[in-house]
Structure 1
Amino acid sequence: MKNIKRLLLLVGIFAFSITSCDVDGYDDYGMETTPSVAMNGEWWIDIIDEASGSVLAQHILHKTYDTNAGDGRMYIDDNQNGYYIKGTVAVNLSNLTFTTTDEENLVDPGSTFNVTDGKVLKNAAHSESGVVTDSIYFKGEFSYDPGTIIIFAGHKRTGFLEDEY
């Protein structure tokens, strides 16, 4: 008799827990994204002097991320690992391009930079281990060295250990 009472008590608790949830009163969970999410990420970028073709640095980690201001801009940030560039660029989400003129360089106060020909190409690159990933490309010109065009070209970081540099 004691076991039957315990069983009935457990069945009652179970039935109450199932029927007490009001799922109709809540919206489904939806993950929010930022406007430039298709262009955001971490990138392994090679830095090349356009005039000479000389590779100035290889596999420098850069980041692109939204400003969260709803202003159609995103940050380019090399995390002070290469050609010290951090600032915002205007994005065109329909064709995944970006550009800016005379943008304040947040890691080099008093200097500015221009970005031209910026683009993200979906599934157009391969990581170190051969994984298909996105490609990024842009040209930069810095106010402290006018006329010198630097090419930034690379691929999206996969996060796999075999793809780290």
Structure 2
Amino acid sequence: MMKTTMVIFLMLVFAIGCENTENHNREISTKELSETINSRMHEYAIALESLDTSRVAPFYVESGKFTSYFDGQRMTRKSLLEAIENLSSNLVSFKAEWDTIEVTKLGDRAALAAASFNRTYTDTAGVIINDWGTASWIWVYEDDQWRLIHGHAVHYPNE
């Protein structure tokens, strides 16, 4: 009896383990992926607006994998976080708003998000600066969360 109980228990543990693995690796629908990436983009905007690199950094994959191009300038994870840190010392507020975010499924663990954006900065002297642009981001599912592996943005001053 004890042997049978142990075998049944081990079979249940194995079955539950397989189910969790299956759910973790399951195919994600395009609609679900779009909703997830839109949500992550909203969270990312909030983190950027805080100008707090400790809130922004977790959105990027580890250093050696992340790259970005902003107005033609290549940036690594480190240089981008340094730029955000420099902004925080010169600004009192920062607001980013994205238009409709278009999400393209690149696979079950990768997606492209693209949108135009508007930004408003207020510097320490009280000067308000507005600009707009277009951007794209590649999100990958890594370490049990969606993170950015690449970004690209072009900024234009408002006229």
TM-score under structure 2 length normalisation: 0.36
TM-score under structure 1 length normalisation: 0.35
Larger proportion of strand: 1
**Higher radius of gyration, 1 or 2:** 1
Q: Which one has more relative contact order, counting CA pairs under 8 Å at least 6 apart?
A: 2
